[in-house]
A and B are shown apart, each in its own frame.
Chain A
């Protein structure tokens, strides 16, 4: 095990897979000479050369479309989009091409493509650079969606994504690039898709946290134990497609209560989806409705105090957990 930052773990995964498979190549804006807007690809141009690590023009839809064509004809491209918000410029190629080509053409081709991009609020970047859009990609059959929250998962899931035969939307988080964690150094260690991570065991309430919210939920769970005597089980799904619903249902059957935490918008969100699935499959096991904690239903504001209350923090998660177990204190310090 090595102690790596999340960005270093991603860099290691890219370096190892570039070394392992000649068909793997990287494309994206400023990933080469500049080393990536978040320095995830630092050093890779120098190590692998311009054939395999390609700086692109600022043309998101075409970058993705070119990668789709390359993937259809034998390469395994890994595209970096500078942030998830810019992926909206490429939505045609992501949905109409990457996700649908295999089905549309009767299974004659595969599209082994990875599209990496970070999301998330907290840096005062306002409404065009701060959103969490995993639900939009989760919506689309044909795509796989990975949302790593730890350095080890960042590395292991990215390696799996590159080796997978399907198009994978790989969603990183801007606020996680600097966090450290133990990461396996073995080049053959991967994290399989569809296996949720039980971040913390507990029997009183299940908290499902998506992307960065898995870590926020873990911290909230510690406070719940310390201050309220509640043992929360925290689950990080790690991939939203495929979804390890079994692990979530198993936990809900044990705790009979569930809170889903996401940073994105509530309407049609990941939490809405999970709440529906849990209700469909474990209704009789629930002692309370599934609670959702989500980002505020607004475009992300710039002003710091507004931005702070527009996405979830520990107090909102604690409040929701207490509510589903029937302990609802009058006020929660710091909660909005």
Chain B
């Protein structure tokens, strides 16, 4: 019961329109990520920057297996998922730049993209922390009796977190509609799979928890799509979780600050021979779906789109100091206390007291803000 029959999903005949769109989206992600790396080197982007270069087939193959009302939850390697789900590159780049027009208004950054309107329910910065959240979204779908499915991606490293075992058990126990996709990119940060997991056949890691597993070639968008579409359909019909292992490789370091001393140049070169974008482009050209000119045009358009995204992000303002405390709380008008605390107060009698006695709500409490205004 806990192992799926060998996947009979086969890529089948490619539908030209869809195939072209897959190549366009993979190319957009590639060009976006390359440019993000450049912008990071130019200090336009701060913090960590985890790029998905090499994993585009996994991203596009999995997200294209979903319908619009299905939910998607990703890890901190989150830009590609937002782009694949349809978030404009302008908003993703502006978020990386920390600007007000970013998809999270500059509060989240690289690891925390989010787009509610497209049911992309977030990139999450804590390894394994996204699994229970995705399962909770699945619970809401089950509770409200919709047939929506939640697809949750996480890395091979996350399969060692407590939340992996806890969540798969609970999802199977409660029969929740979640497709767990473990993206085996061969490394948990700098530690190779064989050095971090006693069981390296990751598709089997859910068996003892009641979650059957299967595997796809994460470097091949057609195989990824076929296997994950089958898993999504199975979950939608059976209302029980499934685990899919997508075998892939990231061509860049864990984050952009990674010197990559844990793997050889030969190994990287070997995987680069299987680069999912030219491989798929050649397949389409061989099938007569696209010619060389069309492939070039797709690439040029992706570069132009990313140019626009950078231009947009550059032009977008930084959030104002006044916005520092926005969206920490939703204030309840019947409540009158302080939601946040004044860290240094003026010694004058508080004007807040006067306000509260007249029924107003004194809650704007931020000396950090006041100090920054004084300094400027």
Tell me, rounded to whole Å, the shortest Cβ–Cβ distance linking B267 to chain A: 33
Closest A residue, CB atoms, query B334 = A192
A164 to B335, CA, bound (A): 10
Tell me the dominant secondary structure on chain B's binding face: loop
The residue from B125, B137, B347 contacting A72, defined by CB atoms under 8 A apart: B137
Interface residues of B in 329-347 (CB under 8 A from A): 329-330, 332, 334-342, 344-345, 347
Asked whether B112 lies within 8 Å of A105 as measured between CB atoms, the reply is yes
A205 to B127, CA, bound (A): 50
The residue from A69, A102, A144 contacting B137, defined by CB atoms under 8 A apart: A69
The residue from B122, B134, B347 contacting A101, defined by CB atoms under 8 A apart: B122
State whether the Cβ of A254 lies closer than 8 Å to any Cβ in chain B: no
State whether the Cβ of B200 lies closer than 8 Å to any Cβ in chain A: no
State whether the Cβ of B283 lies closer than 8 Å to any Cβ in chain A: no
> Contacts A72-B121, A104-B107 known; A192 to B132 CB distance under 8 Å?
no
A101 to B356, CA, bound (A): 29
Asked whether B136 lies within 8 Å of A141 as measured between CB atoms, the reply is no
Interface residues of B in 312-357 (CB under 8 A from A): 326-330, 332, 334-342, 344-345, 347, 350, 352-353, 356-357
A75 to B170, CA, bound (A): 18
State whether the Cβ of B102 lies closer than 8 Å to any Cβ in chain A: yes
> Contacts A57-B166, A72-B121, A96-B125 known; A245 to B337 CB distance under 8 Å?
yes
Asked whether A67 lies within 8 Å of B136 as measured between CB atoms, the reply is yes
A59 to B356, CA, bound (A): 42
- Enumerate chain A residues within 8 angstroms of B327, measured Cβ to Cβ: 102-103, 106-107
Closest B residue, CB atoms, query A69 = B136
- Enumerate chain A residues within 8 angstroms of B143, measured Cβ to Cβ: 25, 51, 70, 75
Interface residues of A in 48-88 (CB under 8 A from B): 51, 54, 56-57, 59, 61-75, 77
Asked whether B344 lies within 8 Å of A66 as measured between CB atoms, the reply is no
The residue from B131, B132, B330, B356 contacting A110, defined by CB atoms under 8 A apart: B330
A interface, size bucket? 35 or more
- Enumerate chain A residues within 8 angstroms of B39, measured Cβ to Cβ: none
The residue from B105, B131, B338 contacting A243, defined by CB atoms under 8 A apart: B338
Closest A residue, CB atoms, query B347 = A283
The residue from A59, A164, A192, A193 contacting B170, defined by CB atoms under 8 A apart: A59
State whether the Cβ of A216 lies closer than 8 Å to any Cβ in chain B: no
- Enumerate chain B residues within 8 angstroms of A75, measured Cβ to Cβ: 139-140, 143
A19 to B374, CA, bound (A): 52
The residue from A102, A165, A245, A281 contacting B332, defined by CB atoms under 8 A apart: A165
- Enumerate chain A residues within 8 angstroms of B332, measured Cβ to Cβ: 164-165, 192-193
Closest A residue, CB atoms, query B336 = A194
The residue from A110, A141, A242, A283 contacting B363, defined by CB atoms under 8 A apart: A242
Tell me, rounded to whole Å, the shortest Cβ–Cβ distance linking B296 to chain A: 37
Cβ proximity bits B46-66 to A, threshold 8 Å, 1 near / 0 not: 000000000000000000000
Asked whether A57 lies within 8 Å of B173 as measured between CB atoms, the reply is yes
State whether the Cβ of A166 lies closer than 8 Å to any Cβ in chain B: yes
Interface residues of A in 234-260 (CB under 8 A from B): 239, 241-246, 249-250
State whether the Cβ of A335 lies closer than 8 Å to any Cβ in chain B: no
Tell me, rounded to whole Å, the shortest Cβ–Cβ distance linking A224 to chain B: 27
Closest B residue, CB atoms, query A163 = B332
State whether the Cβ of A136 lies closer than 8 Å to any Cβ in chain B: no
Asked whether A141 lies within 8 Å of B340 as measured between CB atoms, the reply is yes
Asked whether B114 lies within 8 Å of A65 as measured between CB atoms, the reply is no
Size of B's binding interface in residues, CB under 8 A: 64
Tell me, rounded to whole Å, the shortest Cβ–Cβ distance linking B362 to chain A: 7
- Enumerate chain B residues within 8 angstroms of A56, measured Cβ to Cβ: 170
- Enumerate chain A residues within 8 angstroms of B173, measured Cβ to Cβ: 57
- Enumerate chain B residues within 8 angstroms of A280, measured Cβ to Cβ: 342, 344-345
- Enumerate chain A residues within 8 angstroms of B353, measured Cβ to Cβ: 246, 249-250
State whether the Cβ of A93 lies closer than 8 Å to any Cβ in chain B: yes
- Enumerate chain B residues within 8 angstroms of A192, measured Cβ to Cβ: 332, 334-336
A63 to B169, CA, bound (A): 11
Asked whether A195 lies within 8 Å of B139 as measured between CB atoms, the reply is no
Interface residues of B in 85-143 (CB under 8 A from A): 102-108, 112, 114-116, 121-122, 124-126, 129, 131-141, 143
A242 to B337, CA, bound (A): 5
Asked whether A73 lies within 8 Å of B344 as measured between CB atoms, the reply is no
The residue from B116, B122, B337, B338 contacting A195, defined by CB atoms under 8 A apart: B337
Asked whether A104 lies within 8 Å of B339 as measured between CB atoms, the reply is no
Asked whether A65 lies within 8 Å of B131 as measured between CB atoms, the reply is yes
- Enumerate chain B residues within 8 angstroms of A73, measured Cβ to Cβ: 71, 121, 136-137, 140-141
Asked whether A106 lies within 8 Å of B104 as measured between CB atoms, the reply is yes
> Contacts A105-B108, A109-B116 known; A62 to B167 CB distance under 8 Å?
yes
State whether the Cβ of B163 lies closer than 8 Å to any Cβ in chain A: yes
Asked whether A93 lies within 8 Å of B129 as measured between CB atoms, the reply is yes
Asked whether A195 lies within 8 Å of B336 as measured between CB atoms, the reply is yes
Tell me, rounded to whole Å, the shortest Cβ–Cβ distance linking A323 to chain B: 26
Q: Show 14 A/B contacts (Cβ-Cβ < 8 Å), sorted by A.
A: A59-B166, A59-B170, A62-B131, A64-B132, A65-B135, A66-B136, A66-B170, A73-B137, A97-B133, A104-B107, A193-B332, A195-B335, A244-B336, A281-B350
* The 3 A-B residue pairs with the shortest CB-CB distance in the complex, in nearest-first order: A69-B136, A65-B132, A194-B337
